Structure 1
């Protein structure tokens, strides 16, 4: 009887050792190589799946040495930072020297470069075409024949 109890304890101890080795191996597989973490443009993250994991990509990460734009001016009445869109439209330091500024707000790009051209093209598209109802635009009010000619219209 004593031998069977000892055999049972030995088997249970061996089973625990095997399961611990499996747990350690699972932890090692879940680790991401440190050299891959140096690339901040593409961060791979392990996701629990039955096939051993998949990787996802996280974009638009700032370099860690850069100061976050919401930390440039900690005054409560300063420019508002929207955490959902990660945007700060106004200049957080309006009184600072423009030559020494690192960040001037997200609105600085709205009136420069191709953004201004795009805005002018949109305004032109709105104003160039007359606002009227064309008969071919409304299927409810126009009836066509098989050749595509209008039979009844407004």
Structure 2
């Protein structure tokens, strides 16, 4: 009887230790990434199209907004006037890597991947690609720099 009890306890211990303890939960780094990404609107201030063609924006620009519910929108707007938002289009988004370094967006004119190079409460630098940049690193890339603005 004692051997059966010990075998049962060891089996239970092995089963419980093999379970992933954080399924459905975010660690602190992931929570910080989500908070920085979703608490603001992101305004494009610089684009490098990888073919010796750079562009900076003084006023009219593209705006991106990511919701915590994995829904987002993009619009043409103004760096100076937060009330201007034209041609609003909606998309779904998700992280594709466990370290939350790659975002996949799908929707009206926003299909693609954003590989995060830098994310702070004030800045977002991304490399935009058509295919997953982790699986296909040698593809055409567009570099964006965005700045944060509090939501209106």
**Alignment TM class, shorter chain as reference:** under 0.3
Kindly indicate which of the two structures has a greater share of residues assigned to helix. 1
Kindly indicate which of the two structures has a greater share of residues assigned to strand. 2
Larger Rg: 1
Please, what TM-score do these two structures have when normalized by structure 1?
Answer: 0.25
Please, what TM-score do these two structures have when normalized by structure 2?
Answer: 0.26
- Could you say which structure has the greater relative contact order, defined with CA pairs below 8 angstroms and 6 or more residues apart? 2
